[in-house]
Structure 1
């Protein structure tokens, strides 16, 4: 039976996550985790993480504490992240695609789906573990408030307090693996079952944008509840569409009406966007707004201009078209 080696004593999120990754794979699924700093004990293990002073993937040794170690996902040619890796990042770098395929019960690690999930799970989950373990602060200066519950704290709290006896360290380490495993798996499941289908809807909308409006600047989504901002900006960058001038998104809401929203400058922005709806429309509603816009059945335009509403899909597209013309971003004679 294969054996996984890591250090004993206080455990940290990085080696706990690294061991979870390995235990997710067929070749290590029943492997006991041997926790020791004794070189002779570690030599009996088939793979060693976060201890031993050696990084050598050919020998299945994944420590990052040695003075000369400076590997990142970027330096290893994997992803464009410059953060120094912990044992979690090292194991993810070499086994992450297999881990994802195994957890999702997919047949192959070689597919665009795996590539997207591999990159997103590093960005959204593993990257923070690497950064925290290497002492990299998330922001400069003192924090404005305290976060009492994070993945790191949930793992750390499973270690005994300074005045408690470590009666059953292996049981606590197993509990920690279950904590990180559950959170990693839940986030991966969300990406696979919700994030990726949304990405496909956004990709389809971008590809069909000229069918919905001749300008090609209005992106119309078939499913109004689809989260689109992050996907649109990523796909735009991947396909080098920045010069196409994507300006407005049109989508339905749960009440049956439609929205026209200015595309934001980044995925986390709401009010800072590429082209707010015209100032003359802002803060008006219903008939008054319809008279100003020149399109019947308008519903509202937010006072900031980031979003407006119409009773129909076609009307929302008309609002977007009128905005493009008024702002000098498109002409029907162009």
Structure 2
């Protein structure tokens, strides 16, 4: 037992030593940049002590901008020291963009992201609101004036940043205080919290600052991973849906059938684009025709009444449901049928022409 305790203590000491060296290296690199860069590196100020997800991410995002790319980080609550910093986040009791001060703890702070969002901002939300477009443009190498930047800026706030704002500000996800059936402690804010030293571990500034760097890296990598996904996968899918939606009347004069020549996630985009383009209800699509993921067969899928609904706007005909292969082809009068699901929400055919004919005939039944 004593040998095991000694091994554990040794491992903990080595781990902390590595983290301290990380913090020292970060500081020394910032100093080196000051000496070799022809100027003085800027400094980002934030509070010391226990850290949270919002300022860890805020610092990481700032270091992705042109102004603060080489900035050092000073963790303190001393107002005199904070006054020497070029930008301060999550401390200082001031929100003033002109002074580069971004705290959200002061009495009377009610800033929200806007654009329909009503969650009070944390330091992560504040920094993202003011610097997010630049980060998106730079990371994806697209013009700041490209409309896609705003699309991604709003999407990433909705899917990633807003939860961090809500958790940090103590805003319940369920306003009616519905009792949860289970607890989840795997969200990003919780994982950052676990990086703080435990109550019975050393809490000296070197150890905590090193852990803060680790937390900032964690939040930043997850943020950039999500940004890369939305920019390089989600947005191209949206473009495909927009193009197909715009020319759907070439497929069928009713406008009720959309065809994709390659598989792409379409459901979320379709509902958002219908709303943005004010597509009238009488021409909203009933069926989506697309190749399956393997490319071997084609699918015809009924559009649901909402993205999460199991109810379809117009399910495939009831007589076809639960029928397969040759029996389905004889019943429908369409060659190469594969199946229709028992609920009528999806069917299959071996060819594009067959799947498209299934959709067209279903419109009339």
Bin of the TM-score, shorter chain as denominator length: over 0.9
Which region of structure 1 is more displaced relative to structure 2, 146-155 or 295-304?
146-155
Deviant stretches of 4+, over 4 Å: none
What is the alpha-carbon root mean square deviation over aligned residues?
1.3
SS of the residue corresponding to residue 290 of structure 2 reads strand
User: Are residues 1:236 and 2:281 paired?
Assistant: no
Structure 2: give runs of 5+ residues left out of the alignment. Answer: 1-40
Q: State the distance in 2 between where 1:47 and 1:255 align.
A: 52
Q: Summarize deviations over 1:135-190 as a string: whole Å, max 9, x none.
A: 12223422222323221121111100111112411111111111011101111111
Structure-2 residue corresponding to 1:47: 87
User: Are residues 1:90 and 2:130 paired?
Assistant: no
User: Are residues 1:5 and 2:45 paired?
Assistant: yes
SS of the residue corresponding to residue 5 of structure 1 reads strand
1:251 corresponds to which of 286, 290, 294: 290
Q: State the distance in 1 between where 2:139 and 2:219 align.
A: 14
Structure-1 residue corresponding to 2:359: 320
For the 8 Å contact 1:73–1:93, the answer to whether it is kept is yes
Q: Summarize deviations over 1:82-124 as a string: whole Å, max 9, x none.
A: 1111111111111110111222233x31111211111111111
Write the mapping of 1:1-334 to structure 2, written as runs, cut at 5 A. Answer: 1-74=41-114, 79-106=115-142, 108-139=143-174, 140-167=177-204, 168-224=207-263, 226-243=264-281, 244-253=283-292, 254-269=294-309, 271-326=310-365
SS of the residue corresponding to residue 131 of structure 2 reads helix
SS of the residue corresponding to residue 82 of structure 1 reads strand
Q: State the distance in 2 between where 1:82 and 1:242 align.
A: 29
For the 8 Å contact 2:185–2:191, the answer to whether it is kept is no
Q: State the distance in 2 between where 1:273 and 1:49 align.
A: 48
SS of the residue corresponding to residue 93 of structure 2 reads coil
TM-score, length basis structure 1: 0.92
Which region of structure 1 is more displaced relative to structure 2, 91-100 or 136-145?
136-145
Structure-1 residue corresponding to 2:34: none
Structure-2 residue corresponding to 1:330: none
More helix by share: 2
Q: State the distance in 1 between where 2:138 and 2:312 align.
A: 40
Structure 1: give runs of 5+ residues left out of the alignment. Answer: 327-334
SS of the residue corresponding to residue 237 of structure 1 reads helix
Structure with bigger gyration radius: 2
For the 8 Å contact 2:321–2:342, the answer to whether it is kept is yes
Q: How many residues align?
A: 319
Q: State the distance in 1 between where 2:141 and 2:219 align.
A: 19
Q: State the distance in 1 between where 2:216 and 2:198 align.
A: 19
Post-superposition offset of 1:284: 0.7
SS of the residue corresponding to residue 28 of structure 1 reads coil
SS of the residue corresponding to residue 154 of structure 1 reads helix
